A and B are shown apart, each in its own frame.
Chain A
């Protein structure tokens, strides 16, 4: 009974505040803004594709954020609703019910900023600490506690924070058992020396220390209750060059993910880029060793209560087949990976550039397992140290490789074409946790065309093909999208899994088609989209974290609004 009362109350407050906001805005600068979004689906039965069918038949995720700001004061709240959530959502701990998912107050006094309640933050690129949300994946490890940011002198930035992490959602967010504390310092030399920004290079150095506390509740092991991680980073930039490196070290942290071994963890990333107008190149390398860092050592899944973030070093694809069939996910327990990338633009009027210019993008990434030597089982103390390894020394087990080349060219006033080739090696056993499944070797070709029919109307199409002898065999995808700027779009997509391989057919893999139609309407900050048809099981990734989405059939609706 509490819930509806609260909501009526909240709704009344908001409407009242909204009604007065314009008056406020003129008087003292206070304002209220927010957003709303929902993804809802009505599920239909479809046993051929193994579609999910929740007993409620209708499911929806919904969020609304409200932020009130007045001069140096800010307060925000997010309400969330999962009655029930979409099938396969979220990635980790289940969400249910309706309630408050996030709330905070923040105020700034000159160079000091204080936040109370929930907040997101990161130290450097996050290898020691990152709290963030990816709403569409259901990943949210928001801190609940307090944070202080202080700038004692120009170019010097200090941060300190403490709290617990968001875990699941049960008519309101729930928290993990562990406590997380952290401090970070960053020194920006060009700012400190007050040199000119436009010409000279800049050097930024940073360091952080993070610690988690969880009581030792084991009767068999002596567990560390406070587990610290420190990290250091260096960032050099000049107009053409950019060099970034970060290193993190974690003391022994026996946990579910590493089989309760007492080995310390390490992580390092290095990235260098060189770019001038029309040309960009980058080279990067990562290595992770025993670096799962969760605020509950017995966390049920790899998605929940992560304190740090280990970015995967692979390109995040935008086309449907490469993006959702075989995307890579970081292996925090052990990985050595590298990536090289190049962008080039042949300018207008050159031989290869033609009348409109031509763009080339080449990207190669590869990931290997870390080379490890298991320690003997004879002595329990030694065995509990797990294995020996050296950072950046790979084993011969390749987890992933991806070579992709894209050429994009406007061929006439009204036509633009893009051609992509992609070669893929994918260790599905490790990356998707499907033990015993054969490594996937695939080739893809993608052709995309955009034709402007008028100033406001355009037709875009994609034809994608994946050939592989493993997993589900071949896939072909065709997509057509008709857009009427600035309000409407109409799209149709068919994905066809036609196998084309006797071995797989013998195992019962049958050709299957997945048609899907969409209509969308956009007006200002509001967007509405309706889909109808079959959605293939796939992997949905944002920012480097991936969630498995089950196959489904039905009618779905998405609304997003910003006000």
Chain B
């Protein structure tokens, strides 16, 4: 219990200390659905906001979230130029299902595979869904774990704030 308290308190202390520190996307190698290797430090949206969403084909709330956003995505893009990058953490078991699933859902996202969990670990993601919002300078400015219907509206409010509209 003592250990737990210690761990807990230093985790919280550190999080307080770092909460205000915007950080850049870390470097990790992910793959496109065409098998191209991409260094995540090169991901960008030409000075406009970018959403990084971690998901998996076996994660029901993840799919709900991405489907909910899909219905509004065209409008979001038109209004703010935001781009959604969907990072699948499906491993060898299900990574082959990602491409037919994504197309079957008719999604327009930029999709990457992270089968070895390299980016997931680099961004300290515990579980999916987990969403990061990156500003035009490539800094992570907001994050959210979990998905509940309506969370996409909160996310979009943050995107609007980034482009200076409320």
A in complex with B: yes
A interface with B by C-beta (< 8 Å): 3-4, 7-8, 10-11, 14-15, 18-19, 21-22, 25, 29, 31-38, 40, 58, 60, 62, 64-67, 69, 79, 81, 83, 98, 108, 120-122, 125-126, 130, 132-133, 157, 188, 190-191, 197, 202, 204, 235, 237, 242, 244, 271, 273-282, 284, 309, 311-313, 316-319, 341-345, 347, 359, 361, 450, 452, 454-458, 460, 483-486, 489, 520, 522, 524-527, 543-544, 559-563
B151 touches A486 (CB 8 A): yes
19 more contacts with CB within 8 A, not counting A11-B9, A81-B3, A280-B100, are: A7-B6, A31-B23, A33-B124, A83-B4, A122-B116, A190-B36, A237-B34, A277-B103, A278-B104, A311-B91, A312-B93, A316-B58, A343-B104, A345-B105, A359-B104, A520-B146, A559-B8, A560-B145, A562-B124
Q: How many residues of B contact A (CB 8 A)?
A: 73
User: In the complex, A65→B117 CA distance in Å?
Assistant: 14
In the complex, residue of chain B having the shortest beta-carbon distance to the beta carbon of A81: B3
Q: Shortest 6 CB-CB distances between A and B: which pairs?
A: A343-B104, A280-B100, A485-B150, A280-B104, A18-B17, A563-B15
Give the distance to chain B from A87, nearest Cβ to Cβ, in Å: 17
A456 touches B153 (CB 8 A): yes
Q: Chain B residues with Cβ under 8 A from A31's Cβ?
A: 18, 21, 23-24
Query: Chain A: interface secondary structure?
Result: strand
B9, B37, B153: the one contacting A485 at CB < 8 Å is: B153
In the complex, residue of chain B having the shortest beta-carbon distance to the beta carbon of A130: B92
Give the distance to chain A from B125, nearest Cβ to Cβ, in Å: 6
Give the distance to chain A from B71, nearest Cβ to Cβ, in Å: 9
Give the distance to chain B from A188, nearest Cβ to Cβ, in Å: 7
Instruction: Tell me which of B64, B94, B125 has the highest count of chain A C-beta atoms within 10 A of its own C-beta.
Output: B94
Q: Chain B residues with Cβ under 8 A from A279's Cβ?
A: 103-104
A18 touches B18 (CB 8 A): yes
A-B CB contact pairs (8 Å), 28 listed: A8-B6, A14-B13, A22-B18, A22-B21, A36-B11, A38-B8, A83-B1, A130-B92, A132-B117, A191-B36, A235-B35, A273-B99, A278-B104, A311-B94, A341-B97, A343-B101, A359-B104, A452-B149, A452-B150, A456-B150, A458-B148, A522-B145, A524-B143, A561-B11, A562-B125, A562-B143, A562-B145, A563-B11
| Given A15-B10, A280-B100, A563-B19: A544 in contact with B35 (beta carbons within 8 A) | no
Query: Chain B: interface secondary structure?
Result: mixed
| Given A15-B10, A34-B14, A277-B106: A242 in contact with B96 (beta carbons within 8 A) | yes
B3 touches A237 (CB 8 A): no
A275, A456, A543: the one contacting B99 at CB < 8 Å is: A275
Give the distance to chain B from A223, nearest Cβ to Cβ, in Å: 29
User: In the complex, A207→B35 CA distance in Å?
Assistant: 16
Give the distance to chain B from A354, nearest Cβ to Cβ, in Å: 14
Q: Mark B37-50, 1 if CB is under 8 A from A, else 0.
A: 10000000000000
| Given A108-B27, A486-B148: A544 in contact with B93 (beta carbons within 8 A) | yes
Q: Chain B residues with Cβ under 8 A from A10's Cβ?
A: 10
Q: Chain B residues with Cβ under 8 A from A456's Cβ?
A: 150, 153
B93, B97, B149: the one contacting A458 at CB < 8 Å is: B149
A14 touches B92 (CB 8 A): no
| Given A15-B14, A60-B4, A359-B105: A563 in contact with B124 (beta carbons within 8 A) | yes
Give the distance to chain A from B20, nearest Cβ to Cβ, in Å: 7
User: In the complex, A242→B59 CA distance in Å?
Assistant: 23
User: In the complex, A455→B153 CA distance in Å?
Assistant: 8
Q: Mark B139-156, 1 if CB is under 8 A from A, else 0.
A: 000111110111101100
A275 touches B35 (CB 8 A): no
Q: Chain A residues with Cβ under 8 A from B144's Cβ?
A: 486, 522, 524-525
| Given A14-B14, A237-B33, A485-B151: A122 in contact with B115 (beta carbons within 8 A) | yes
A11 touches B10 (CB 8 A): yes
In the complex, residue of chain B having the shortest beta-carbon distance to the beta carbon of A483: B148
Q: Chain A residues with Cβ under 8 A from B118's Cβ?
A: 120
A69 touches B7 (CB 8 A): no
Q: Chain B residues with Cβ under 8 A from A560's Cβ?
A: 126-127, 145
Give the distance to chain B from A186, nearest Cβ to Cβ, in Å: 9
B74 within 8 A of A: no
Q: Mark B71-100, 1 if CB is under 8 A from A, else 0.
A: 000000000000000000001111111011
A79 touches B7 (CB 8 A): yes
User: In the complex, A204→B97 CA distance in Å?
Assistant: 18
B3, B32, B100, B145: the one contacting A98 at CB < 8 Å is: B3
In the complex, residue of chain A having the shortest beta-carbon distance to the beta carbon of B144: A524
B3, B17, B19: the one contacting A19 at CB < 8 Å is: B17
B4 touches A38 (CB 8 A): yes
User: In the complex, A40→B123 CA distance in Å?
Assistant: 24
Give the distance to chain B from A137, nearest Cβ to Cβ, in Å: 12
Q: Chain A residues with Cβ under 8 A from B26's Cβ?
A: 67, 69
User: In the complex, A544→B20 CA distance in Å?
Assistant: 38
In the complex, residue of chain A having the shortest beta-carbon distance to the beta carbon of B90: A543
Q: Chain A residues with Cβ under 8 A from B19's Cβ?
A: 563
Q: Chain A residues with Cβ under 8 A from B33's Cβ?
A: 237, 242
B36 touches A188 (CB 8 A): yes
A562 touches B130 (CB 8 A): yes
In the complex, residue of chain B having the shortest beta-carbon distance to the beta carbon of A529: B146
A14 touches B59 (CB 8 A): no
| Given A25-B23, A361-B104, A562-B123: A83 in contact with B3 (beta carbons within 8 A) | yes
Give the distance to chain A from B32, nearest Cβ to Cβ, in Å: 8
B8 touches A274 (CB 8 A): no
A22 touches B149 (CB 8 A): no
Q: Chain B residues with Cβ under 8 A from A21's Cβ?
A: 17-18, 21
Q: Chain B residues with Cβ under 8 A from A7's Cβ?
A: 3, 6-7
Give the distance to chain B from A76, nearest Cβ to Cβ, in Å: 8
User: In the complex, A309→B126 CA distance in Å?
Assistant: 22
A157, A318, A458: the one contacting B60 at CB < 8 Å is: A318
User: In the complex, A64→B9 CA distance in Å?
Assistant: 11
B91 touches A544 (CB 8 A): yes
A98, A132, A190, A275: the one contacting B116 at CB < 8 Å is: A132
Give the distance to chain B from A68, nearest Cβ to Cβ, in Å: 11
Instruction: Tell me which of A33, A120, A188 has the highest count of chain B C-beta atoms within 10 A of its own C-beta.
Output: A33
User: In the complex, A4→B7 CA distance in Å?
Assistant: 11
| Given A132-B116, A157-B37, A486-B151: A242 in contact with B99 (beta carbons within 8 A) | yes
A130, A278, A318, A347: the one contacting B103 at CB < 8 Å is: A278
B7 touches A81 (CB 8 A): yes
Q: Chain A residues with Cβ under 8 A from B34's Cβ?
A: 190, 197, 202, 237
Give the distance to chain A from B146, nearest Cβ to Cβ, in Å: 5
In the complex, residue of chain B having the shortest beta-carbon distance to the beta carbon of A66: B14
Q: Chain A residues with Cβ under 8 A from B150's Cβ?
A: 452, 454-458, 483, 485-486
